[in-house]
Amino acid sequence: MDQYKKNNNSGKWKSFGGIIAFLVLFGGKLKFLLPLLKLGKFGGTIWSMALMIGAYAVIYPWSFAIGIVVMIFIHEMGHILAAKRKGIPVSAPAFIPFVGALITMKKQPVDAQTEAYLAFGGPVIGTLGALAALGLGVALDSPALLSVAQVGFFLNLINLIPVHPLDGGRIVTAISRWLWVVGLVGGLFVILYFKAIIFLIFWGMFAWELYKKYVRKDHLKDVRQDTNLTATVDMDPFLESGLPIPAESHQRELYFIQASDIRLREEYCHLYYPGLGRIASLPFESGIVERVRLMGTKIEEGKLKMQMQVTYRMYPENVPAMIKEEGYYQVPNQVRWTYGLSYIGLAVFLGWMMMVTYSMFTPPPLVG
């Protein structure tokens, strides 16, 4: 019995040491990605990672819990690297126990090709992370690392199911949207087979989006929004022209011109007041302005603050929906074939690696 405990403890230390070795080896490869994360945001990522590790450690051994979170972190860093290469600002990853991790894009992709490129980043880099864990697991004879590698291959594989918002659902936008049908039918079978309940929620969200798009045809309805803006206006033109300064409760329609500055790549809404001409220019890139109404004013520090309600029609790429307009999905045939072969090849490779890792060892108990 004492000998068994000694061997068991030795195995635990070997597994934990393997995880540390993995962090040192592969973490060094990710140093060039860390500047992508601002200090404050990176601090939030560390805290959410620690929370996630603690949550998994309630069920799994510590070494395995750390390994799972590292696999997810590497996957998310792949998305961040891809976003940086495309010039799309993103947030640092936030980790949610028993759900996964997510990053938010501060600017949406302009087409399906870019969206697919960003989606590819996670599974590709995540697969490299799983391969590194596998190599270390074999070298150190660590069952924990082999388990982590298998989980890494599984997470990246199931993320390739062609269902939004999973990576696969985003990748196939640049291949063929008919693969969404495959994801809707076959994806449900895969999710139920692996009992991946969290992914069932994503499947339901995607099915609802398809229903709204192709059955209710919500995309044919105008998407209009109202927003409140404040323009700071110099009062001298009013005084010099003899026009009364608008009262606090004064309301009226304002003439406007929406124009683009090609050099600065910015859009502005130029506002005009009767008898004065242009009084302000406000950056506005959310959509096509249809109406500007002055809702009131107040004077602060010698300046006139004009509160306005702007009614605009949102640009299609800014509409908060998984499914975009038809023009968004126009992709060159060469890109479709390249992405399609890469997608299938990656899925086949991940499936094969899962079988390889499963045949190499007997999975250790989840607790103990």
Q: What is the pLDDT of residue 221?
A: 58
| Per-residue pLDDT at 225 | 81
For residue 366, the model assigns a pLDDT of 45
Stated pTM of the model: 0.63
**Which pLDDT belongs to residue 340?**
95
Residue 292's pLDDT is 92
The rounded radius of gyration (Å) of the Cα atoms in the chain is 27
pLDDT at 219 (0 to 100):
55
Alpha-carbon gap, residue 259 to 268, rounded angstroms = 5
| Segment (H or E) for 76 | helix 62-85
Per-residue pLDDT reduced to its tens digit, 131-152? 999 999 899 988 888 889 999 9
Residue 281 contacts by C-beta under 8 Å, 6 or more apart in sequence?
268, 269, 270, 271
Supply the pLDDT for residue 359.
82
Closest Cα to residue 148, out of 70, 34, 87? 70
Beta bridge partners of 119: none
Distances (CA, A) of 164 to 159, 172, 201, 292, 322: 10, 10, 11, 37, 7
pLDDT 10s digits, 184-219: 888 888 888 877 777 888 888 888 887 777 676 655
**Enclosing H/E stretch for 259:** strand 255-261
Q: What angle do CA 13, 15, 19 make, to 5 degrees?
A: 115
HSE-up of residue 121 (Cα within 13 Å, Cβ side): 21
Which residue, chain included where needed, has tokens 């890494």? 152
pLDDT value for 72: 92
* pLDDT of amino acid 132: 95
Instruction: Please identify every stretch of the chain with a pLDDT value under 50, giving residue numbers as ranges.
Output: 1-16, 19, 22-24, 26-34, 36-40, 365-368
